[in-house]
Structure 1
Amino acid sequence: MTEKIDVSQYVEQAALLVDLQLRDEYRDSAIANFEKIQVIAKLVNEFSLPKDIEAAPKFEP
């Protein structure tokens, strides 16, 4: 994903989709949190995995 997402517009649209009345005093914090999430998601999505990797059949911590 090379396109930069307008996080403030995303927050507004997502709030509309889930019928969330996002109060003004929380809007800036919600946008800041989604900007942080965007950075973390970029790191995860750009992490390359070997082509021959297989999913574990069972998760064992």
Structure 2
Amino acid sequence: MPKSFNVKEHVAHMEAVMHLTIEDNWRPVVEMHIAAIEKAAEQVLDFPMDADIEAAPVFVP
């Protein structure tokens, strides 16, 4: 399991990787949204599923 998720480090890292500039007054809002996304992803990844479950087929009309 990866180390605990650090929102501030993640935002700073992605800002550098993507060559973005996040203004100081926007940083708390960006960090809040990333934290919310992390919590939602955590719930999805923690959902118990049997190992033999396969992905649903893609419908192509």
TM category (shorter chain) comes to 0.7 to 0.9
Gaps of 5+ in 2: none
Any residues of structure 2 matched to 1:24-39 within 5 Å, and which?
Answer: 24-39=24-39
TM-score normalised by structure 2 residue count: 0.83
Any residues of structure 2 matched to 1:15-30 within 5 Å, and which?
Answer: 15-30=15-30
Q: Percent identity of the aligned residues?
A: 28
Gaps of 5+ in 1: none
Q: How many pairs were matched up?
A: 60
Show structure 1 runs of 4+ deviating over 3 A.
Answer: none
Any residues of structure 2 matched to 1:3-22 within 5 Å, and which?
Answer: 3-22=3-22
- In 2, distance between residues paired with 1:59 and 1:49? 23
CA RMSD of aligned residues (A): 1.7
